[in-house]
Amino acid sequence: MNGALIEARGLSKIFRSRGLFRRGRAVQAVRHVDVRLEKGEAVGVVGESGSGKSTLGRLMLGLLPATEGEVRFEGRPLDQISRAEWRRLRRRMQIVFQDPYGSLDPRRRVGAQIADGLGIHQVVPAAEQERRVGELLVLVGLDPLHARRFPHEFSGGQRQRIGIARALATGPDFLVADEPVSSLDVSIQAQILQLLGELRRNLGLALLFISHDLPVVRHLCDRVVVMYLGRVMEEGPADRIFATPAHPYTRALNSATPRLDPARRVKRILLPGDPPSPSDPPSGCVFRTRCAHAIEACAGAVPELRPFGEQRRVACIRAEEFA
Amino acid sequence: MRWFLRRIATCLVLAWAVSLVVFMTLHVVPGDPAELLLSTGGIAADPIAVKELRVKLGLERPIFDQYLAFLGGVIRGDLGTSLVDEYPVTKEIALRLPRTLELILAGTLIAVLLGLPAGTYAALHRGGLFDRIVSGTAALLLAIPVFVVGTLLVLLLAQTLKVMPAGGYVPFAQDPVKHLTLLTLPAIAIAKSLSAVVFRMTRASVLDALSRDFVRTARAKGLSPTRVLLRHVVRNALTPVLTVLGLHMGTLLGGTVLVEYVFNWPGMSTPLLRAVEARDYPMVVGIVLTISGLFLLINLIMDLLYAALDPRTRAA
Amino acid sequence: MTRLWIPGAFVAAIILVALLAPLLDLPNPIRQDVARRLSGPIPGSPLGRDEFGRDVLSRLIWGARTSLGVAFASALIAGTIGTLIGLIGGWFRGLGELLTVRLVDVILCFPPILLALLVVTLLGPGAATLILVLSVLYVPGFARVAYAEVLSARSNDYVEAVRALGASTGRILLRTVLPNIAGPVLVQFSLAVAAAVVVESGLSFLGLGVVPPAPSWGLMIRGARATMEQAPLMLLWPCVALTLTILTMNLLCDALRDAVDPRTPAQRPRRRLVDRLVPGLLPPPAVEPERVLDLRGLTVEIETPLGRIRPVDDVSLTVRAGETVAIVGESGSGKSLTATSVIGLLPPAARPVSGSAWFGDRDLLRLPEPVLRQLRGGAIAMIFQDPMSSLNPVHRVGDQVAEAIRAHRQTSAANAQAQALDLFRRVGIADPERRLRAFPHELSGGMRQRVMIAMAIANRPALLIADEPTTALDVTVQAQILDLLAELKRETGTALVFITHSLAVVAEIADRVTVMYAGQVVEEGEVAGVFANPLHPYTRALLAAVHEADAAPVGIPGVVPQPHAFPAGCRFAPRCAHALAACAASLPALEEAGEERRVRCIRWAELSGAREAAA
């Protein structure tokens, strides 16, 4: 296609649980998702539990094999490259995890863990590694001397910074951040978001920011993709989606988010019931079982993710009526 | 329901695997099995006797046929005959098994009746005198081998103090009191490890349950301490104890052999040990299969009890 | 650490003696001397002679050599093979797992001694046979340990991170999985050695283990048993040796296990003792009938390995009937502990050391437990954060709600179930009849929290304390629950204390707010006032960190101080943009700052004035 750094087309992932004597249950985590990122673009993927957003992140990095569809990095499909090229590609795409306590090996010094990427891909000669690790630590707002310490000596926010430093070690063009601030205190969340924003600007990183929290992605991301039960409900520029959400789910999500300023509050749309199970999704539009505007047609075909206004796409056959 | 069937199926598969392993043991050893069985003390065996034994054990046939015959026999309940006196193995086992079962049951009962309350109390009063004394005792009990306990019990109570008989057996129908008296010491010996294991696991499990959120909720509801303890703490603490009980039964079954020997309790150990010494392979195989089968059955029962106690297992 | 070194030293000593046996000047352990059989201690034989006239001490030491030799050899072989099998099975999963780990699990279906006897029948007794069969017996243990470690390492984010970096399988196994395996494998090794000693001695006792005349403790016991009546003491020596060895090995195993998987040793539980003042010494405050809860100067102390800490320090709070008071703070602020103190459910290591909690005319902190218990779940109810772990997984939810009802009212079981059904309807649980009989794991997060709320309101509480009830829930479900709480409050006029870390939630549901930082109250007042015009620098900074305004959120530099390292002065000073030397010098007091407003900052007026002037 046209210059997209990384692009997913028709991406699907079905997890089957199998065991001796057990009937396989298929969890449809991601279904026919298209996502694309340009160089240096930040896209937020927002959804609640069961939306498939974390799986999507891993699929795009190639950490999970896709059941259907493909992911192309700079135009080349990931499932068709050789193993050696695969390893080389790993340099250019990295991940930051949600849990700052689980994402670092408790038995190794943080400097060594940051240097892993340097060593595997020989980014710099071995003699230079220590200096580079120090530079990376400074880049994320820590002291180079911290390289000698162990993870348990750091706070949650600091560990998250170390995770970011490790991801940046190989000089990636594409970074997946899987709920990197959800486990942190509010005041620390803002610190990390500021950091990510700066790094993105200074290093020209493409960022896929996964979150369950709509307001968090607002300042950091150019575009937002809203997912529900494995499918994309809506996507478009972040501020437009915030200001005028088009899909009924996005509108409900938006209205459910608590707000400080009474002036900003939107009349609450309460979704009835619970989200259906990803192993047994509804036919047609997956959101129809909880949508106040569902009609018979919604149970038929899966609504197409179609253009809606400027640079926006919505998967709802009735979107225009609520505009 | 599906869970239940799955569990039974797993049990059957394991039973089959056990039979396979037992069968293969004969064929996996280097050298001719018949020769091995007949050579004692380094003296080579008489070739004619070896040939006879080979025919008797069916070793001349193709291995697959042997296995089918073996498996068929097991399913039918025919475990062959003793090499020593041609006595049907199954008959011997049928005679002896109930006595061994009685010992196991008695020992388990004692262990559970002692271990559960003691463990609960120790957990509730952690670090107190009771806890420290009983935990120390449990450590000691686990360390003393069961045959040492048995022998020392005989030395102390039978020989020195002369308060208990040294061993032997009298059928229950004949003299219930004497029967139970003779059962006491061996049952205690059998129970020694299991009670320590049950105590430790109960203690750990109750301590864990005490720190759980739902216990906090129970207390927040204003329930009486007794109710919190029984319905919430102990009730949830039971399941790990069941698991460890099932696992430990293997050791207990082995210990039964030793205890029966020390106390002259005429269970399965008598024919077993005699057969091992005489290299009476079919008898040994028959008894090993039976006891292993018993072990699998016990674990199945434990699993069923576990599922009855914890509804989450049934959902999987 | 002593737990490790003492048994370790014993075991090392035993091993050393066994190893050095040939070098020690011992009589020949197999040379018989029938003339002196069963003699007591004689010169040259401090422990006497056995039934064949052999020196007992010498046989004990050489027996150690045999037993330990067999045990170590089999443990080593089993360890090598088993760990390898577990690694392969855990890494490659699928068919590989089936062929390796599941296969060796079959060995676990055999009681150990029986498998040993089977092999002994075939191969005859002897040390070599024993080592063979013991090795086979202990392979599954190692395989399971290695398998479990590989699986847990694989699921760890940090292993995924290294995979994402492009590391090869070998590198991952070597650098991340193996180091984490070493500990548990070592523990398993020590367990295998101890178990092997037991099995070997048992078999030798039966005459089917080590072959005489080679010495072995089991054999010695066997021989001594035969001559038990003539020489009872002969029995004791090998019994003691065997028991002592196994005991010290077991203790070593336990200590190793703890060393490898350390958990903070929980403190000795302290009884919930608050100094009981003589009744009447401190009169209750003038009873203001509308005040449901009047918390004054609560301080909670906890004993930790690093010393005594006060995670709740001089906290005061008032709640009126029908009011919602929010306690907001980040981690380490002490907000949860404050709430659990009120209801008397502090963890055993914590206790309130000063302050009072007036509920009507009674001080909750000084009530005897039975009286407090009547209030808990009745007049004062609490909802917790994680509904999954807060419900008992083995009882049906209907029963758990009925239990709450029957704890406070005399009513039949059927009646309680009927009331539970009503409550389920009231809290909006769909299909309530069916749901009454459900288990917690069959319900979604939102529904479980509704069940918790039903339990809490069952006895019409005057005060409801909610500790982060929506933090673990999805946004849309959170909205449902908040809505439900608001509705219930309207219906019943219950006072609500709502603990949260989210300022936005506070703004939506609370009348008044108390902001906590590092165990202390730093600001409190009416929500609208506090959020429109925050007086404390922390409150201001917290508001600026929220992702709502058009401007990007701004974080607060630094970290929350740990309770054992609270600054002497203002606890927020190290992170405060407006801090002066005076701030760090001494702890500021909570000052009145207008109607129903209080702030803990010496510069609040000055900073507020400066802002007004600038505006």
Residue C176, pLDDT above cutoff 80: no
Burial of residue B214 (CB within 10 Å: 0-12, 13-18, 19+) is buried
Residue B81, pLDDT above cutoff 90: no
The SS3 assignment for A129 reads helix
Residue C262's pLDDT band, with cuts at 50, 70 and 90, is very low
% of residues, chain B, pLDDT over 90: 47
Residue B45's pLDDT band, with cuts at 50, 70 and 90, is confident
In chain B, which residues have their Cβ closer than 8 Å to the Cβ of A21?
5-6, 9-10
Give yes or no for a contact between A233 and A48, defined as CB atoms under 8 angstroms apart: no
DSSP of C545-556, one letter per residue?
Answer: TSTTSSSPP-PP
Residue C458's pLDDT band, with cuts at 50, 70 and 90, is very high
Nearest chain C residue (CA) to A86: C166
In chain C, which residues have their Cβ closer than 8 Å to the Cβ of B219?
345, 376
Burial of residue C439 (CB within 10 Å: 0-12, 13-18, 19+) is buried
Give yes or no for a contact between C571 and C602, defined as CB atoms under 8 angstroms apart: no
Question: Does A185 contact C548 at a Cβ distance shorter than 8 Å?
Answer: no
Give yes or no for a contact between C108 and B250, defined as CB atoms under 8 angstroms apart: yes
Predicted pLDDT at C271: 30
CA distance B313 to B243: 13
Query: Tokens standing for C452?
Result: 């918790």
Residue C265, pLDDT above cutoff 70: no
Pairing label, strands A6-19, A68-73? antiparallel
* C contact residues 205-264, partner A, Cβ 8 Å cutoff: none
Q: Beta partners for A229?
A: none
Cα distances (Å, whole numbers) of residue B89 to A39, B68, C41, C392, C394: 79, 19, 49, 50, 45
CA distance B19 to B288: 10
> Chains with ≥3 Cβ pairs under 8 A against C?
A, B
Residue C289's pLDDT band, with cuts at 50, 70 and 90, is low
Question: Does C179 contact A107 at a Cβ distance shorter than 8 Å?
Answer: yes
In chain C, which residues have their Cβ closer than 8 Å to the Cβ of A113?
158
Give yes or no for a contact between B257 and B273, defined as CB atoms under 8 angstroms apart: yes
Mean pLDDT of A213-237: 91
DSSP label at B74?
H
CA distance C23 to C20: 5
Give yes or no for a contact between B93 and B290, defined as CB atoms under 8 angstroms apart: yes
Mean pLDDT of B123-149: 92
pTM of the model: 0.84
Cα distances (Å, whole numbers) of residue B77 to B84, B91, B94, C596: 20, 10, 11, 87
Q: Which of B40, B221, B272 sits opposite C403 (nearest CB)?
A: B221
Mutate to test the interface with A, among C105, C165, C478, C530 (most CBs of A within 10 A): C165
Per-residue b or e along A312-323, where b marks 16 or more CB atoms closer than 10 Å to that residue's CB: bbbbbbbbeeee
Predicted pLDDT at A62: 85
Burial of residue C20 (CB within 10 Å: 0-12, 13-18, 19+) is exposed
Predicted pLDDT at C35: 77
Q: What are phi and psi of C67, to 5 degrees?
A: -60, -50
The total number of residues written for chain B in this structure: 316
Predicted pLDDT at C276: 35
Residue A20, pLDDT above cutoff 70: no
Alpha helices in B172-227 (DSSP H): 176-210, 213-220, 225-227
Give yes or no for a contact between C274 and C366, defined as CB atoms under 8 angstroms apart: yes
Asked if the peptide bond before residue C285 counts as cis, ω within 30 degrees of 0, the response is: no
Of B263-267, C50-54, C304-308, give the lowest mean pLDDT range. C50-54
Mean pLDDT of C579-602: 89
Residue C283, pLDDT above cutoff 60: no
In chain C, which residues have their Cβ closer than 8 Å to the Cβ of B311?
393-394, 439, 441
Segment C34-39 long-range contacts (CB within 8 Å, at least 24 positions apart): C38/C227, C38/C230, C38/C231, C38/C234
Per-residue b or e along A89-109, where b marks 16 or more CB atoms closer than 10 Å to that residue's CB: bbbbbbbbbbbbbbbbbeebb
Predicted pLDDT at C393: 92
Question: Does A113 contact C158 at a Cβ distance shorter than 8 Å?
Answer: yes
Nearest chain C residue (CA) to A164: C161
Query: Tokens standing for C198?
Result: 């037991």
In chain B, which residues have their Cβ closer than 8 Å to the Cβ of C115?
288
Residue C558, pLDDT above cutoff 90: no
Question: Does B222 contact C109 at a Cβ distance shorter than 8 Å?
Answer: no
Predicted pLDDT at C268: 31
Predicted pLDDT at C275: 34
Other CB atoms closer than 10 Å to residue C472's CB: what's the count?
17
> Where in chain A are the domains?
6-92+172-322, 107-170
Q: Is C418 left (phi over 0), alpha (psi -120 to 50) or beta?
A: alpha
**Residue C582 host element (H or E):** helix C581-585
CATH 2.60.40.2230 fits A6-92+172-322, yes or no: no
In chain B, which residues have their Cβ closer than 8 Å to the Cβ of C251?
139
Angle at A152 between CA A147 and CA A155, to 5 degrees: 85
Residue C131's pLDDT band, with cuts at 50, 70 and 90, is very high
Indicate the residue type of A107.
Answer: R
Give yes or no for a contact between C241 and C63, defined as CB atoms under 8 angstroms apart: yes
CA distance A198 to A204: 10
**pLDDT tens-place string over residues A83-118:** 888 888 888 999 999 888 888 888 788 998 998 888
CA distance C217 to C195: 15
Residue C572, pLDDT above cutoff 90: yes
Question: Does C552 contact A258 at a Cβ distance shorter than 8 Å?
Answer: no
Residue B226's pLDDT band, with cuts at 50, 70 and 90, is very high
Q: Beta partners for C326?
A: C498, C513
**pLDDT tens-place string over residues B140-162:** 999 999 999 999 998 888 888 88
Predicted pLDDT at C266: 37
Query: Tokens standing for C469?
Result: 């009830």
In chain A, which residues have their Cβ closer than 8 Å to the Cβ of C556?
187-188, 190-191
Residue C613, pLDDT above cutoff 90: no
Nearest chain C residue (CA) to B269: C114
Instruction: Give me the residue label for tokens 């204003």.
Output: B222
Residue that wins the pLDDT comparison between C103 and C113: C113
DSSP of B89-114, one letter per residue?
Answer: HHHHHHHHHHHHHHHHHHHHHHHHHH
- CA proximity to C390, closest of C457, C330, C450: C450
CA distance C453 to C448: 9
Mean pLDDT of B264-271: 91
Mean pLDDT of A176-199: 89
% of residues, chain C, pLDDT over 90: 40
Mean predicted lDDT score pLDDT of chain C? 86
Rounded to the nearest angstrom, the gap between the alpha carbon of residue B86 and the centroid of all alpha carbons in its chain is 28
3-state secondary structure C394-448: CCCHHHHHHHHHHHHCCCCHHHHHHHHHHHHHHCCCCCHHHHHCCCHHHCCHHHH
> If you count residue pairs, one on A and one on B, with CB atoms under 8 Å apart, how many are there?
7
Query: Tokens standing for A321?
Result: 């009526």
Residue that wins the pLDDT comparison between C4 and B310: B310
Pairing label, strands C463-467, C380-383? parallel
Query: Tokens standing for C458?
Result: 């069952």
Predicted pLDDT at C403: 93
**pLDDT tens-place string over residues C179-224:** 778 888 888 999 899 999 999 999 999 989 888 878 889 998 998 8
CA distance A130 to A142: 15
Q: What are phi and psi of B206, to 5 degrees?
A: -65, -40
> Chains with ≥3 Cβ pairs under 8 A against B?
A, C
In chain A, which residues have their Cβ closer than 8 Å to the Cβ of B5?
21
**pLDDT tens-place string over residues B13-32:** 899 999 988 888 888 877 77
Q: Which of A121, A191, A252 sits opposite C555 (nearest CB)?
A: A191
Question: Does A107 contact C180 at a Cβ distance shorter than 8 Å?
Answer: yes
CA distance B307 to C388: 20
Of A205-214, B82-91, C369-378, give the lowest mean pLDDT range. B82-91
**pLDDT tens-place string over residues C364-412:** 988 888 899 999 988 999 999 888 899 999 999 999 999 999 999 999 9
Nearest chain A residue (CA) to B9: A21
Residue C279's pLDDT band, with cuts at 50, 70 and 90, is very low
Predicted pLDDT at C278: 35
Q: Beta partners for C303?
A: C308
Mean predicted lDDT score pLDDT of chain B? 88
